Amino acid sequence: MTLDPVLARIDADLDASVARLMELLRIPSISTDPAYAAHCQEAADWLVEDLASLGVAAEKRETPGHPMVVGHIDGDGPHLLFYGHYDVQPVDPLELWDTPPFEPELQDTPKGKVIRGRGTSDDKGQLMTFVEACRAWKEVHGALPCKLTFFFEGEEESGSPSLVPFMQENREELTSDMALICDTGLYGHDTPAIVTMLRGMLQEEITITGPSKDLHSGMFGGIAMNPARVLTKVLSSLHDETGTVTVPGFYDGVPELSNSVRAQWEGLGFDEKAFLGEVGLSEPAGEQGRTGLEMIWSRPTAEINGMWSGYTGAGFKTVLPSKAHAKVSFRLVGTQDPEAIRASFRKMVADMIPTDCEVSFSEDLGAGPASVMSTESPMFDAARQALSDEWPNPAAYVGSGGSIPIAGYFKSIIGTDAMLIGFGRDDDQLHSPNEKYDLESFHKGIRSWARILAALT
């Protein structure tokens, strides 16, 4: 099957592709709010019908939460699975939207045309880039270029409670040669990227309790232990003067970058000053001797996400608080073991608690390892070249400071490697009012998937 007529069809059919995306965007499939449960069902039904128009045997599969959409079509060559999610974030605060979030529009902006509306970039627009690439293949050649499985989730924005059980129960059906995920972005404006490492996450909430009640600081100050003072000492001990995390054993399993990846990242021209300047900062505060991209992509972190104690209202109340609280998160890389780090962190904190104070830890908080995708498969190089052929700059293997658990689940549950390719841009305002997806991202994203399908088959 030849590629050029497929690309030509994509170009000619762009208006119709946008119109189909607009239909999906109008469905307010907010997964976290039970009031929108019927709309999540509607979005799943829409996708089943759209896949069926391509000859895909698609079904809506019910779960304890929102349904999955699974579709299959036979073909020659490798078996590829494509994952995306049709649910979206809530729209609050609604008053900050310039247009109704579920009345999508194609708008002209100083930077070019954008598709505006909730879900445009995360993840309906990204999901539809792959579907539209398949549509063009089918219309030109009468068939898709390989065996494909489509796997669309409806709970990604609400913690994916049904995902792991569904994957475990349907492991054989979802097994493929490679999983493709479109929920990431470009590097910069014109550099396509394949994400090969995702940081894991460990969350902890600690409470330090001292006296049985809040105390008058004039009567008890100086003689009574203040749990807020204990908490600040604990938190300040998490890093040494070089920015290194001090939790014992924290760096077990943290790898160094390979020379080839390091060279690629250096070639991206990341500007630390400009990156920090956008949020009113100027100097990197992480581990000394590490580049900016290392710090946000390939190095682990310990961060204080919240802390509170005593009286925090208007005015002043001179008390020694009975309790002090903090939320701490750890971003993990390589083969770091989140449960081993949890145990080490808790012991470190417990060892610092003085007489007359005690510490407790909230249970059932998140913990998940990092995901590292091996690029040894020739599919990675083929996809990287295909992306490079479409975009102005060569594609790069990159890391991600965030966490996308599905990538790790494909490996740990299904035994399939995942390739994360997306076309979002940094200014897409994900999860925020006025979310958008550049028309160029949508158009070139469709063309990119067509090229990747040709390269992989």
pLDDT at 366: 80
297 φ/ψ angles, rounded to the nearest 5 degrees: -115, -40
pLDDT at 98: 97
Q: Which residue is listed with tokens 């109340």? A: 317
Distance CA 31, CA 37 (A): 7
347 φ/ψ angles, rounded to the nearest 5 degrees: -65, -45
CB within 8 Å of 250: residues ≥ 6 apart: 300, 302, 330, 336, 341, 344
CB within 8 Å of 99: residues ≥ 6 apart: 105, 116, 117, 434
Task: Summarize the chain as % helix, strand, coil (round to 5).
Answer: 35, 25, 40
What is the location of CATH 3.30.70.360 in the chain? 200-254+300-368
What is the location of CATH 3.40.630.10 in the chain? 4-198+370-456
Q: Each residue's pLDDT tens digit in the chain (457 positions)?
A: 799 999 999 999 999 999 999 999 999 999 999 999 999 999 999 999 999 999 999 999 999 999 999 999 999 999 999 999 999 999 999 999 999 999 999 999 999 999 999 999 999 999 999 999 999 999 999 999 999 999 999 999 998 999 999 999 999 999 999 999 999 999 989 999 999 999 999 999 999 999 999 999 999 999 999 999 999 999 999 999 999 999 999 999 999 999 989 999 999 999 999 999 999 999 999 999 999 999 999 999 999 999 999 999 999 999 999 999 999 999 999 999 999 999 999 999 999 999 999 999 998 788 889 988 888 899 999 999 999 999 999 999 999 887 788 998 999 999 999 999 999 999 999 999 999 999 999 999 999 999 999 999 9
Question: What angle, 0 to 180 degrees and rounded to 10, lies between the N-to-C axes of helices 439-456 and 14-25?
Answer: 110
Whether the CB-CB separation of 233 and 352 falls below 8 Å is answered with: yes
Amino acid at 261: V
Half-sphere exposure of 135 (CA within 13 A, CB side): 20
Q: pTM (2 decimals)?
A: 0.87
CB within 8 Å of 199: residues ≥ 6 apart: 297, 300, 331, 332, 333, 370, 399, 400, 401, 402, 403
CB neighbours (10 Å) of residue 2? 9
pLDDT at 368: 87
Distance CA 37, CA 195 (A): 32
pLDDT at 403: 76
SS3 state at 424: strand
DSSP 165-213: HHHHHTHHHH--SEEEE---B-BTTTB-EEEEEE-EEEEEEEEEE-SSS
- Give the CATH number of domain 200-254+300-368: 3.30.70.360
Q: Which of 375, 386, 381, 391 is nearest to 191 (CA)?
A: 391
Distance CA 266, CA 275 (A): 15
Domain 4-198+370-456 matching CATH 3.40.50.10280: the answer reads no
Amino acid at 213: K
Q: Which of 365, 377, 304 is nearest to 338 (CA)?
A: 365
pLDDT at 1: 74
